[in-house]
Copies of this chain bind each other. A is one copy, B any other.
């Protein structure tokens, strides 16, 4: 998905795409990584200009409403990754925090009807991506 599409989704919900939001969104979308609010704030600062931390928090809030972001809990911290399109699963690199989408879910939720009514499910794989294999782990 490109920035223009996100823009229309924002507009459809009466949100605006400000210059600040565009900087943050670009950083998030182009990285393929997941970030805590503070991490994304720092990344934006180093790559572009400075934006307010509040702006990052508010963007995560908005993107969550639009379901354009998926949260991950890792080591007690909440990370967000840009995420859109149909249902899919994830591979998360524990080293570089890059996220890869896995399409083609074969699960049939009817198999679990005895447990209750399944609304949705998630599957996340965690490991070390090709880039990070063999390389020294970040401290």
Taking CB atoms, residues of chain B closer than 8 Å to A122 are 122-124, 126
Question: Are B133 and A127 interface neighbours, CB within 8 A?
Answer: no
Q: Size class of A's contact patch? A: 20 to 34
The A interface, classified by DSSP as helix, strand, loop or mixed, is strand
Question: Are A126 and B130 interface neighbours, CB within 8 A?
Answer: no
Copy tally for this chain in the complex stands at 2
Interface centre among A72, A93, A121, A133 (most CB of B within 10 A): A121
Q: A139 to nearest B CB, angstroms?
A: 18
A109 to B123, CA, bound (A): 12
Question: Are A127 and B117 interface neighbours, CB within 8 A?
Answer: yes
Interface centre among A72, A116, A120, A129 (most CB of B within 10 A): A116
Taking CB atoms, residues of chain B closer than 8 Å to A123 are 121-124
Ranked nearest first, the 9 interchain pairs of A and B with the lowest CB-CB distance are A73-B73, A116-B129, A118-B127, A123-B123, A121-B125, A119-B127, A91-B115, A117-B128, A117-B127
